[in-house]
Amino acid sequence: MRIDFLGLQAFIAIAERGSFQMAAAYLNLSQTALSHRIRRIEDDLGVQLFQRTTRMVALTPAGAELLPKIRMLVADLSTAIEDTRLAGANQERSISIACLPTVASVVLGPALFELHKYYPDVLVKVHDKSATEIVELLSAEAIDFAVTISTPLRADFHIQALRKDPLVLVCRSSEVPVTGERMGWAELGSIPLIRIGPNIGNRMDEALGSRRETLNWRYEVQHAPIAIAFVRAGLGMTVVPRLALWRQDLDGLKVIQLHDPRVSRQIGIVTRRNHLPSPVSDHLRQMIVRQFQRIGRLAPL
């Protein structure tokens, strides 16, 4: 048997007010529509719920027995609907994303500033993690989306490609190894190098193949700002993604393009294919896309 909740609502309204006219006004219905609802529920139940005369409306014994049960049913339904509404509202007040540290320092600040204009009360949790850790967060469904290296990834992830981010050489201006703006990996020779690993280092190793063994890796750190600080200290040169230098103070430093081969990482926004984003999450994703487009116009690669 189907449950006619509108009919149950009409039944309670009439029983509590003792009048079809007053119940119709309360429910903002015509008396004819209200009568149709009651007739439908009585037909479904196979019993008469009200005794009607020209002077009064009263519950039948069956109606009197049914009333407290229907009140409880409708109350439980109302509570369930309100709980669902509140849960949705709470979800809208908080979102969680992940981002590579070298990318977060470039795009997230402006994107979050724009988001705040539309959603000033939303808490945004940012996990600035490595690419490997970000995959784990996505797999655990702990985040709404991620800005990370977009290949290769699992089949149940959806990728929106944003930008190729080439690896470049950073050295002190007083120690530039070439006269031009570019140099090949083979020209690095015995220059002391500071490696950033494992994610950037692994991407570089894959592209260089056996040639990586000819490079003079003297130090290894985990984050680009530390590698750049080592360069300033005269410990060697480093290879970093170009985006990692976007907001860096490069005074006294020189950036040189590397080629043969030209090694880059593909940055994208990654989501789970079965994940339905909230309006806030989707708005932030759009803000990040626009920020990448802005960077592309200012610094095309």
Can you give the pLDDT at residue 111?
A: 94
Q: Which pLDDT value is given to residue 86?
A: 58
Q: Give strand pairing partners of 61.
A: none
Bridge partners, residue 152, by sequence: none
- Spatial neighbors of 136 by CB under 8 A, at least 6 apart, are none
CB 272 within 8 A of CB 156: yes
Reading the block at residue 257, the tokens are 């393009």
The CATH number of the structural domain formed by 93-163+266-298 is 3.40.190.10
**Residue 191 neighbours by CB under 8 Å, 6+ apart:** 177, 216, 236, 237
- Residue 22 vs residue 81, higher pLDDT: 22
What's the rounded Cα separation, in Å, for the pair 119 and 296? 27
H-type alpha helices, the chain: 5-17, 20-27, 31-45, 61-92, 101-103, 109-118, 131-139, 199-208, 224-232, 279-298
Q: Are strands 182-184 and 145-149 parallel, antiparallel or unpaired?
A: unpaired
Backbone angles phi, psi at 51, to 5 degrees: -100, 125
Range 229-248 average pLDDT: 91
> What's the rounded Cα separation, in Å, for the pair 134 and 39?
59
Q: Roughly what angle, to the nearest 10 degrees, separates helices 5-17 and 61-92?
A: 120
Domain boundaries, the chain: 5-90, 93-163+266-298, 164-264
- pLDDT tens digits, residue range 53-105? 777 788 999 988 888 888 888 888 877 776 666 555 545 578 999 999 888 88
Its pTM surpasses 0.75: no
The predicted structure's pLDDT at residue 88: 58
Task: Decide if pLDDT at 110 tops 80.
Answer: yes
Q: Which two tokens stand for residue 18?
A: 């003792």
Q: What is the pLDDT of residue 52?
A: 82
State the Cα–Cα distance between residues 251 and 140, nearest whole angstrom: 42
Residue written as token pair 């509590």: 16
User: Tens digit of pLDDT for each residue in 194-204?
Assistant: 998 876 777 78
Q: What is the pLDDT of residue 299?
A: 58
Lowest mean pLDDT among 76-85, 182-191, 251-260: 76-85
SS3 69: helix
Burial class (CB in 10 A: 0-12, 13-18, 19+), 241: buried
**Cα–Cα distance, 124 to 281 (Å, whole number):** 9
pLDDT bucket at 152, cuts 50 / 70 / 90:
low
Question: Hey, what amino acid is at 35?
Answer: S
Asked whether residue 169 carries a pLDDT value surpassing 80, the answer given is yes
By percentage, how much of the chain surpasses pLDDT 90?
A: 36
Tokens read off for 229? 């600080």
Residue 123 reports pLDDT greater than 80? yes
Q: How confident is residue 4, by pLDDT bands cut at 50, 70 and 90? A: confident
Domain formed by 164-264, architecture: 3-Layer(aba) Sandwich (3.40)
164-264 shares the fold of 93-163+266-298? yes
Residues 6+ apart with CB under 8 A from 85: none
Give the pLDDT score at 63: 87
> Over the chain, what is the mean pLDDT?
87
Average pLDDT over residues 19-47: 88
CATH class of 5-90: mainly alpha
pLDDT over threshold 60, residue 1: no
Is the pLDDT at 188 greater than 80? The verdict is yes
